[in-house]
Structure 1
Amino acid sequence: MDLKVIVGPGCSSSLSEGIQSKIAELTKSDFQLTVCTETDFADGAVLTQIDENIRGADVYIVQSTPPPERNFMVLLQMLQAASLASAGRVTAVLPYIDIRQDRKDRPRVPITAALRLQAIEQALIAASHKHVMFLHPHFPQVQGMVRLSTDVLYPTSSFLLVANDITGSDFSQVLPVAPDVGAAKLAAHYHRRLGTGSYAIGDKRRSDNDQAEIKSIIGWIVGRTAFIYDDIIDTAGSIKALAAKLRELGVDKIYVFATHGILAGKAIANLQSAGIEKVFITDSISHDGDSLPSDLIQIVPCGELLGEAIWRNNTNRSIHAIDGMFDR
């Protein structure tokens, strides 16, 4: 099927450029992205329109949702528009989607992850063939919450290249660290890929006012260089608390790797005061126009990863064959 890729307004310019250039490289063509126009109305509503014929095409809608009030609605509209335009297949490619609430963890709250995914399913209902790609979702069971075929992608190979640059490929003193039990599998994966002697896990608790506290760290860390791995940096409160505990227990240097840099509220101030050498985030969330401190935060592009995954799906090749995907 003819390949069409639409990158929504929630995505960064670097992500868009990375997707386009990678597909052009793999297809050995002058591949160009398909344009989608958004019209804003005075009452705050938005209407999207795909600007070219996509009938029978293999269509990929790439959209990150922050801020969700607008960008999630734009995502749904683009998916439905492609489905109603008789595309041969419609795939939602989600660099970042805010689906962290996967259960009722307190009385009288919704399961917002289910609401988001049900809305995506409904938007795709008219599509004859539909698919979803996630980039490092907050919880892996997301694949079981949506009644569609899915792929999960990870920026592992990009972060491994950064780790090589930091250490000169000498990982003898490197210690992958998970902020909590939820990130333990992530730290264990990098422990295996880097060939480090061990990895560590933080014992994170939250107080009544939702402040993160690291009670202890499981693992031997004295004199080591800590590589903290997590999926999201939101306000960076957990990272700051973990860095303080690592310093207290004798770690030498601290680097942070996180796929999604939300960087909300006091995140920058928290990171600047945490004694961290460098923070690496991908461009899954747009910071176009933001003044991020370049001496502290480095953006690692992931557009080429998404571009290759799109090309592989379009040509019926294995997604798992992409270097850095987790072993199933």
Structure 2
Amino acid sequence: MPKRKNIVLISTDSAAVLTAKVAKELDVPVTEMITRTFADGEFYHAFPRDIAGCELVIIGNTHDDISHQELIDLITGARYWNALSVNVVIPYLGYSTMERAKPDSGEIPKGITRTRQIFRARPDYVAFLDLHSEAVLHAHAGEIRTRHIWTEQLAAEKIRQMQVDNFVLVSPDYGFSKRVARLAGLLDCPHTAANKDRYDVDKTIVGQLSGAVRGRTAIICDDMIRTGGSMLQTVDRCYQAGAVGVMVMATHLVLAGNARERFLEKGIGCIIGADTYPGTVSDDLLQVYTVAPVIADELKSYFRLQ
């Protein structure tokens, strides 16, 4: 495939900070959309330049309804104004834990249905970061190129920088244990898993944990922290199994409601994560690394820029 040129990089409003970091990695300017809000609450968007014949890259999260619709508007707008290709990177996919419905429940599996809405806007390429489930990759008819970008290398480097001694990685459930095993392989450290069962919306039960954590600092790893319920139960299980300290790590730091306070009350002084969720920055509790390098590397490879 020949090297592609004439790349235009834009973002949804909520992804502007991360997009600026990606632009710096790519040495490509960000093209800022013209936006305003009408008195009745409707949103105005306009491309500030002619995008006909351009390779358009849109970086956008779908963490709330407004951002989800904005991303669809940008994709369909790019088609309307004849972009040569429309390429999307979604650092955080909303509703990603709702990728399937229980039999006879009447539930709407919005992880799938909303991703289908994005695909039906006809992008050429969509990349996701650290998905909860890869089922969403296949929620189209085969005409869209999809990509799942893993960020384990960045997470491993962040843990190395923190110079934690004698640690073990812990998965809060067996479903995530393969991912934790890959990270443990990068760090050359042991790993183990607890047993988690979900019995209601945002409610889980975490079972017993092996003695692999005894005498070590446990780093509990997951793809996201929403309310922190299963993580906090796993903290208790780690201490019961003999851990001398506990840290927490997840790619997507949603931390809804009073999740931060609950972790602090449990004695957790460090949560490691990425800047995929809008507004996530380092502070006294959070140690945040940026995913901009892996997004930039993926785009360089895709557009044959290196």
Return the TM-score normalized by structure 1.
Answer: 0.85
1:183 aligns with 2:176: yes
Corresponding residue for residue 120 of structure 2: 122
Q: 2:110 aligns to what?
A: 112
Deviations 1:257-292 (A, max 9, x none): 21111111111112112222411111111117xxx7
Given candidates 207, 216, 229, the residue that maps to 2:221 is 229
**Hey, what's the Cα distance between the residues in 2 that align with 1:145 and 1:207?**
26
CA distance in 2 between counterparts of 1:8 and 1:306 reads 16
Distance 1:163 1:307 in 2: 22
Which residue matches 1:320?
A: none
Indicate whether 1:53 and 2:50 are aligned.
yes
CA RMSD of aligned residues (A): 2.0
SS of 2:15's equivalent? coil
How many positions carry a matched residue from both structures? 298
- Looking at structure 1, the residues matched to 147 and 250 of structure 2 have their Cα atoms a distance apart, in angstroms, of 20
CA apart distance, 1:254: 1.6
Q: CA deviation at 1:44?
A: 2.8
Q: Of the candidates 1, 22, 41, which is equivalent to residue 19 of structure 1?
A: 22
Residue in 2 that maps onto 1:256 = 248
Quick check: 1:62–1:92 contact (8 Å CA) kept in 2? yes
Q: CA deviation at 1:229?
A: 1.4
Give the C-alpha shift of residue 201 in structure 1: 0.8
**Deviation at residue 186 of structure 1 after TM alignment:** 1.2
1:263 corresponds to which letter in structure 2? L
Post-superposition shift, 1:12? 5.1
Indicate yes or no: 2:36 matched with 1:39: yes
| Matched residue type, 2:181 | A
Assess if the C-alpha contact under 8 Å between 2:22 and 2:295 holds in 1. yes
1:143 corresponds, among 131, 137, 153, to 137
* Whole-angstrom CA distance in 2 between matches of 1:277 and 1:271: 8
Quote the residue 1:90 is aligned against.
86
Q: Distance in 2 between matches of 1:217 and 1:103?
A: 28
Counterpart of 1:193 in structure 2: which amino acid? Answer: L
Offset at 1:224? 1.4
1:6–1:61: 8 Å Cα contact kept in structure 2?
yes
User: Which string of whole-angstrom CA distances, capped at 9 and with x for unpartnered residues, describes residues 35-66 of structure 1?
Assistant: 11233233333232221111111111100122
Matching residue of 1:156: 152
- Distance in 1 of aligned mates of 2:92 and 2:49: 26
Q: Distance in 2 between matches of 1:155 and 1:293?
A: 18
Deviation track 1:122-146 (CA, whole Å, cap 9, x = no partner) reads 212xx6xx00010111102322223
Within a 5 Å distance, the mapping from 1:169-318 to structure 2 comes to 173-196=166-189, 198-207=190-199, 210-218=202-210, 220-287=212-279, 294-315=283-304
Q: Distance in 2 between the 1:118 and 1:207 partners? A: 27
| Structure showing greater relative contact order (alpha-carbon pairs closer than 8 Å, 6 or more residues apart) | 1
Aligned match for 2:62, one of 62, 65, 74: 65
SS at match of 1:186: helix
Contact 1:223 1:252 in 2 (8 A): yes
Deviation of 1:200 after TM superposition, in Å, equals 1.0
In 2, the alpha carbon distance for the partners of 1:83 and 1:207 equals 43
Say which SS state the counterpart of residue 219 (structure 2) adopts. Answer: strand
CA distance in structure 2 between the aligned counterparts of 1:157 and 1:210, rounded to whole angstroms? 29
Identity percentage of aligned residues: 22
With normalisation by structure 2, the TM-score equals: 0.90
How far 1:308 sits from its partner (Å)?
Answer: 2.3
Distance (Å, rounded) in 1 between the aligned partners of 2:132 and 2:109:
14
Mapped partners of 1:59, 1:86: distance in 2: 10
Distance 1:207-1:113 versus aligned 2 partners, 3 A rule: closer
Alpha-carbon distance, 1:250 to partner: 0.8
* Structure 2 counterpart of 1:47, one-letter code: Y
**What's the counterpart of residue 78 of structure 1?**
74
Aligned partners of 1:117 and 1:145 also within 8 Å: yes
C-alpha separation in 2, matches of 1:36 and 1:178: 41
